[in-house]
Amino acid sequence: MHAQTYGWLDWAKNGKKAGSSTYGKRLEAIEIKLVKKGESAPGSTKKAYQVPRIQYQTHVQSIGWQKKVSDNQIAGTTGQGKRIEAIKITLPDSDYTGNVEYQAYVQGIGWQSWKKNGELAGTSGQSKRIEAIRVKLTGEIAKYYEVYYSIHLAKIGWCNYESAGRATGTIDLSKKIEALKICLVKKDAETAPNTNGVKYVEGYKSGNFYYNGYIKGVGATGNVSQGNTLGTIGKKQQLQSLTLYLDQSNKLAPSGTIQYATHIAKEGWKDWSDAGTTNGASTGTNGMEAVKIRLTGNLAKYYDIYYRAHVQGYGWLGWAKNGQAAGTSKIGYRMEGLQIRLVSKDAAAPGKNANYYTEKKKTATIAVKDQMHLRALAYASNTRYLILVDTTANRVGIYSGSVGKWNEVKKWVCTTGAKSTPTVKGTFTVQGKGKSFGSGYTCWYYTQFYGNYLFHSVLYKQGSMSVIIDGRLGINASHGCVRLNINNAKWIYDNIPRGTKVVVY
C-alpha cells in the first residue's frame, strides 16, 4: 500500500492488514503479487500496517477537548499553567482482545471508579483538576504488552514513567497535571522507558505538622496544630523557645526537613535547628524577638512554609515565608505569639507576604478598651470595618481600621439567640440587606451575615416603626438573629459594606 505521507509500506500477505488506521491517511496506490509458497517475498513484511498501539485525548482548562494523540505523543499543554480536567484512552485496532483501564484522582472528589476503552475519566465543565492517574491493561493484551505513562506536573515538570496500574501524580497538594504521555511496550522484546525516581507523592495532612514552645515565666505551651497561635495575645507574655514537629511516617510524602532559628533578646540569632529540636533562649531571663523557618529537600520542592509573629506594640505582623525573618530586632520588643502554616506551592497563601519584620519602634499604639477590642485586633477584614458579637454578654462592637489597628466605633447592647435557638458562632461576612421583613410583626433594617442569620431591629407591630411588640435587649431570647435598637440596626444597614467580616463568639 502507498499511504499519504508514509509512502510505500511493506508487503502484507494472505489476509493480513495493509495500510493505516485511525491516522486519517488516505490510501493512494496498491500493488499485488502472487508468489509460490516457499519463494521469497517481494520485499520486507515488517511494517505493512500502521496503527497506533494506544490513543488518548485530554480535556484542558479553557481549551476543551484536544485532538487525539498516540504512542507517547504529548497530550495537554506545558508552559501554559493549564490543568487537565478529563482524559479518554483507547486501543484503536489491537490484534489481541482485552481493555485499557484508567482511573483519575480529581480535585474535591478523590479517586473515581475505573474507566475503560474511551470512557471519560475526570470531569467536564466543573473546573476540577486531575491530580493523579492510574492506567493498566486487562485481558489477553496484558500477556503481551505493558502500558507506561508519564505526567507533567505544575511547577515540577515531567515525571519518569509509571506502569501496571500504579499511581502517578500527587494527592493533597492542590497540584494539577498539565500533560501526559502513554505508550505500550512489548514484553521481553522492547526496551521499557525509564521508571526510576519519584512518580507519586502524597501531601501531608493537617495533623502531621504541629509545634510547641515555652513562655517566659509561665512554662510549656503544649502542642499547637498548624495555623493556630503558639503563645498568648494581650497578656504581655514573651515566647522563649520553639520546637517544630513533622510526622514523616508516610514514606510517600515529600522527604526533607523543617529548620528554624530564633532571635533572642541580648543573645541575637541562634543557629538553625531541625524539626524535633528546641531552639530558643539559653537563660530563663531572655526571650524571643524574631524567628526564621525554612524547608529542605523535596519538602521545599512541594511546599512553602509561612509564619507570622504577634509582637509587643504592633500586634500581628504580615506573613513571612521560606527563611525570611519574622518579628523584630534591635528595639527590645517581645514576641508574644506565633502562627505557622505548611502550604502547598499550588495552594493559596494564608495572607500577604509583606510587613513581616521591622527594626523600628511603634510610634503610635491602639488604646485597647476591653476584651472584645483586644479580640478584634487579631482579625482581618475585606473592608475598613469589622463587627464582633459577644453572645454571652449580648454586645455588638463595630470597629474601623485594619488587622492589629482596629479602633472602636460603636458598642451596643443586643439580644442574641435563645438557648434552644442559639446564634451561629464563627467568622462570616456581610452579605445581603433589606429594609424590612416579617409576618404578624416587622423587623426593620436587616443585614445578613450567614444564611438566615441577620442583624435587625427589635420586633415592631406589623408595618409600624413606633409600636414595639418585643423590645428586650441584653438577653438571649431571639430565634438566632442579632436584635438591636432600630437606630443601631439602621446604622449597620447604612454604613457597613458587603464583605465586612463578622465574628460571633
Rounded CA separation 65/86 (Å): 8
Q: Would you state the pLDDT for residue 364?
A: 58
According to DSSP, the β-strands at 357-358 and 385-390 are unpaired
Q: How far is CA 503 from CA 173, 206, 433, 460, in A?
A: 30, 24, 18, 27
**Sign of the alpha-carbon dihedral angle for 468, 473, 479, 480:** positive
Using alpha carbons only, what angle is made at residue 399 by residues 397 and 403, rounded to the nearest 5 degrees?
A: 125
Cell of 181: 504521555
Rg of the chain over Cα atoms, rounded to whole angstroms, equals: 33
Using alpha carbons only, what angle is made at residue 164 by residues 162 and 165, rounded to the nearest 5 degrees?
A: 85
Q: Would you state the pLDDT for residue 361?
A: 87
The span from the first CA to the last CA of the chain, in angstroms, equals 80
Residues labelled catalytic: 456, 481
Cell of 115: 474507566
Q: Would you state the pLDDT for residue 6?
A: 84
pLDDT tens for the 505 residues of the chain, in order: 998 888 898 999 999 888 878 878 899 999 999 999 999 999 998 887 777 899 999 999 999 999 999 999 999 999 999 999 999 999 998 889 999 999 999 999 999 999 999 999 999 999 999 999 999 999 999 999 999 999 999 989 999 999 999 999 999 999 999 999 999 999 999 999 999 988 999 999 989 999 999 999 999 999 999 999 999 998 999 999 999 999 999 999 999 999 999 999 999 999 999 999 999 998 889 999 999 999 999 999 999 999 999 999 899 999 999 999 999 999 999 999 999 999 999 999 999 999 999 999 886 556 778 899 999 999 999 999 999 999 999 999 999 999 989 999 999 999 999 999 999 999 999 999 999 999 999 999 999 999 999 999 999 999 999 999 999 999 999 999 999 999 999 999 999 999 999 999 9
Element (H, E) at 15: none
| Complete DSSP assignment for 238-281 | -EEEEEEEE----TTSPP--EEEEEEETTTEEPPPEETTS-EE-
Element (H, E) at 432: none
Q: Would you state the pLDDT for residue 88?
A: 98
Which residues neighbour 402 within 8 Å (Cβ) at sequence distance 6 or greater? 380, 381, 384
CATH numbers and ranges of domains, the chain = 1-51 (no CATH), 55-202 (no CATH), 206-358 (no CATH), 371-504 (2.40.440.10)
Selection from 409, 401, 357 nearest residue 379 by Cα: 401
